[in-house]
């Protein structure tokens, strides 16, 4: 059985490749991954495909564990082109593999469409892919929590917590102002990205949302969008037979 593993900045998502369409992926905090957890959860695999944007410590741990247990491991990296996707980067390997795989996943699910992809996790990334499979670049901005943490860390008299329902309304206290301001900045960036994407391609057929904040963003966007929780894993699945 082939296991797909997406190691993010704070969490790791994994699923058996044959179950990708069941939406039964599992998630674990990176701090909880150790040899005992690997023994309990990954031993049934005979091949592991990995994408990693986190520290090399987790990746090294999994590779060493897999070698001991005679399990084949393949670590995916970004490329100039693959599966109909052509990178916009002059140095393709510098493109984050999470973005690369999200685009491959998007093309596999929505072939022949102009797609704007928003991955809203620790960072929020936005990428534009044309119906022909050409990547047209994108943006990277801090995720919601990073925005709030940065503001609080660099100011002396602003106090806020993150236990506020996402909203774009103007707040009547500092806590709401901080939270809603960060959501407003994120939604504003996505709306501006839609405008820019339309200028470049004429129209956008699909707006795909993934990542931990995808549901909140969908609720705040005026435009129709689709949540694809396993977009990166769908991209990983394409490498199954290589």
Q: Nearest Cα to 212, choosing from 232, 195, 192?
A: 232
| Cross-strand pairs, 13 | 6, 27
Residue in 95, 94, 132, 85 with CA at minimum distance from that of residue 234: 85
Answer whether 133's CB lies under 8 Å from 41's CB.
Answer: no
Catalytic residue among 6, 98, 119, 127: 98
Q: Contact 20/7 with Cβ under 8 angstroms?
A: no
* Residue 222: Cβ within 10 Å count: 8
CA gap 62, 56 in Å, rounded: 10
> Is 163 known to be catalytic?
no
| Closest CA relative to residue 102, chosen from 127, 130, 131, 66 | 127
Alpha helical stretches, state H, 7-159:
35-41, 56-68, 97-109, 144-153
Q: Which residues are catalytic?
A: 98
């Amino acid at each position: 059985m082939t296991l797909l593993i997406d190691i993010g900045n704070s969490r790791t998502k994994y699923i058996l490749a044959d179950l990708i369409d069941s939406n039964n992926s599992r998630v674990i905090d990176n701090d909880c991954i150790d040899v005992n957890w690997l023994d309990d959860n990954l031993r049934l695999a005979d091949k592991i495909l990995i994408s990693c944007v986190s520290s090399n410590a987790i990746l090294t741990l999994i590779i060493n564990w897999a070698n001991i247990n005679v399990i084949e491991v393949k670590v995916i990296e970004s490329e100039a082109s693959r599966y109909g996707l052509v990178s916009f980067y002059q140095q393709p390997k510098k493109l984050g593999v999470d973005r690369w795989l999200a685009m491959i996943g998007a093309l596999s699910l929505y072939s022949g469409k102009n797609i704007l992809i928003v991955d809203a996790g620790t960072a929020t990334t936005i990428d534009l892919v044309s119906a022909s499979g050409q990547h047209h670049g994108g943006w990277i901005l801090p995720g919601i929590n990073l925005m709030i943490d940065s503001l609080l860390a660099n100011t002396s008299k602003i106090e806020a917590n993150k236990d506020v329902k996402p909203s774009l309304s103007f707040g009547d206290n500092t806590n709401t102002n901080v939270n809603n301001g960060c959501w407003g900045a994120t939604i504003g960036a996505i709306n501006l990205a839609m405008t820019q994407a339309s200028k470049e391609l004429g129209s956008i057929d699909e707006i795909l949302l993934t990542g931990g904040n995808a549901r909140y963003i969908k609720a705040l966007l005026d435009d129709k969008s689709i949540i694809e929780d396993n977009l990166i894993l769908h991209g990983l699945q394409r490498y199954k037979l290589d």
